[in-house]
Structure 1
Amino acid sequence: MPTLSVFHVKDAMTAPHSVTSAFDGSGIDGPWFTWVTGIARDTPWLNDSAEVLTQAGLGVFAVLMVIGWWRARRMDGERMAAALIAPVSVLAAFAVAEVVKSRVAELRPCRSLPHAYIVETCPQMSDYAFPSGHTTTAAATVGALVLVDRKLSRIALVLAVLEGVSRVYVGAHYPHDVAGSFVVGLVVALCVSAVLRRALIPLVATLREGRCRPLLAAG
């Protein structure tokens, strides 16, 4: 087991799970992680930008959902229902990811590999690594937009991959954290959107004939 500094041990005393009970994911793909963070070490001029973009990037996915809603105004009620459900689907995926994260209790790379090059500030001990909340949100946006606008979903997919790579680059997550996040985000968002969309279609049809028409239909 990797040697932890005194700071890490003190954190563990106040965390819900102790260091000994928390899962160490470095044995899964630690070498891949250190290879990516080695690139970060060799490109210090990119570190600040990467740290800003990995956080601000989530705003881009919110914008994509707004664009999806706007474009759905010219589409059928099914697409509009999916557009309205998209934020709910993303929030549901994030909530599931948080539950999984607390159950798995995987130590962050900065805890398991304290000597690796880490750009992002190491979070508190109780903030676990698997799955990545950022990447789950990004992947869930892809899943939610598939039922709204395939072109937007493809754009979201490219950005979601970049978001996932950036989470490893700044040292916040292992590659398997990101991969697992894609599975959680896509599956939950697709399932929630598919189920709730059907229930919302009749309501959308009714609202399109009333005062809400400008928000739900173009022209």
Structure 2
Amino acid sequence: MNTLLDLSDRLYLDVADFAHSTPHWFQWIAEAWTELGLLLFGVLFLAGWWRTREGSSRAMALALLAPIATGFGYVVSEALKSLIDEERPCRAVAEAPVSLVACPPHGDWSFPSNHSAIAGAAAIALALSWRGIVWLTVPMALLMAFSRVFVGVHYPHDVTVGLLVGALVAFVVMRAAERPVRALVETARSSRSSAVAWCAGRGPSAHAPAHSERRSRARHGAY
């Protein structure tokens, strides 16, 4: 264990030195990405919900579960952080250069990285609910995790464990809750409340009558 921690310390120093050798504009991008990346995941959650309003109940259920599963990933990460009082490297590693962002105060522990846990959870949750988007979400999560080391507030092992914890929790939540949420979506889609039905979407059946009418008119030469 000590060998792995020593390796993480050395990697942290290497990344910190590299960060200080990069241009200021690149450092600014890395600093911004640590927060804006979370916002982009939020936009993808909304886009995933919107695109499944006309999809199957299962697709809508997975889209709704994606942000919930991500939230669970954060909660588990925060629980671990409260149990493991690891000081931030920007305070604990004496020979390290000054972090690019303000070092969090004492008591805001380092292990695991909550940003990385959220990113890992969001990447997997979106990948399970949106076919093909994994090629976007996984690189986003990896870049976010790396950015936390780059700006100097986490060790490499913090972000690695954060990614894994978030991804695992999200996967379990998505699989475990899919069936009950799917049933809930089907109930909402048949609701008399227009607001509830709009949020859940009408599903593919909403377009079936119009589609059938167009085919019927085509067969009778209406077009």
* TM-score in same-fold range (> 0.5): yes
Is the 8 Å Cα contact of residues 64 and 156 (structure 1) preserved in structure 2? no
Is the 8 Å Cα contact of residues 127 and 137 (structure 2) preserved in structure 1? no
Secondary structure of the structure 2 residue equivalent to 1:151: coil
Is the 8 Å Cα contact of residues 33 and 174 (structure 1) preserved in structure 2? yes
Secondary structure of the structure 2 residue equivalent to 1:147: helix
Q: Which amino acid aligns with 2:200?
A: L
Q: Greater helix percent: which structure?
A: 2
**Residue in structure 1 matched with residue 15 of structure 2 by the alignment:** 36
Which of these residues, 147, 156, 161, is aligned with residue 142 of structure 2?
161
Q: What are structure 1's unaligned runs of at least 5 residues?
A: 1-22
**Deviation readout 1:58-100 (Å, 9 max, x if unpaired):** 1011111111111222321112111112221111110110111
Q: What are structure 2's unaligned runs of at least 5 residues?
A: 208-223
Matches within 5 A, 1:132-171: 132-171=113-152
Q: Which amino acid aligns with 2:21?
A: D
Q: Which amino acid aligns with 2:197?
A: R
Give me the identity figure in percent: 35
Aligned-residue Cα RMSD (Å) equals 1.8
**Residue in structure 1 matched with residue 185 of structure 2 by the alignment:** 204
Q: Which amino acid aligns with 2:95?
A: H
Cα distance in 1 for residues equivalent to 2:91 and 2:5? 10
Q: Structure 1 216/153 Cα, relative in aligned 2: closer, same or farther at 3 Å?
A: farther
Which of these residues, 52, 56, 68, is aligned with residue 72 of structure 1?
52
* 2:174 maps to 1:193: yes
**Deviation readout 1:25-77 (Å, 9 max, x if unpaired):** 95241111111111111014122232122122210111111111112223211
Q: Which amino acid aligns with 1:204?
A: V
Matches within 5 A, 1:1-219: 27-45=6-24, 46-117=26-97, 118-210=99-191, 211=194, 212-217=196-201, 219=207
Query: How far apart are residue 174 of structure 1 and its match?
Result: 1.1
Cα distance in 1 for residues equivalent to 2:5 and 2:31? 22
**Residue in structure 2 matched with residue 19 of structure 1 by the alignment:** none
Query: How far apart are residue 152 of structure 1 and its match?
Result: 2.3
Cα distance in 1 for residues equivalent to 2:140 and 2:146? 10
Cα distance in 2 for residues equivalent to 1:36 and 1:110? 12
Is the 8 Å Cα contact of residues 142 and 154 (structure 1) preserved in structure 2? no
TM-score of the two chains, using structure 1 as the length reference: 0.83
Residue range with higher mean Cα deviation, 110-119 or 53-62 = 110-119
Secondary structure of the structure 1 residue equivalent to 2:132: helix
Cα distance in 1 for residues equivalent to 2:31 and 2:40? 15
Q: Which amino acid aligns with 1:58?
A: L
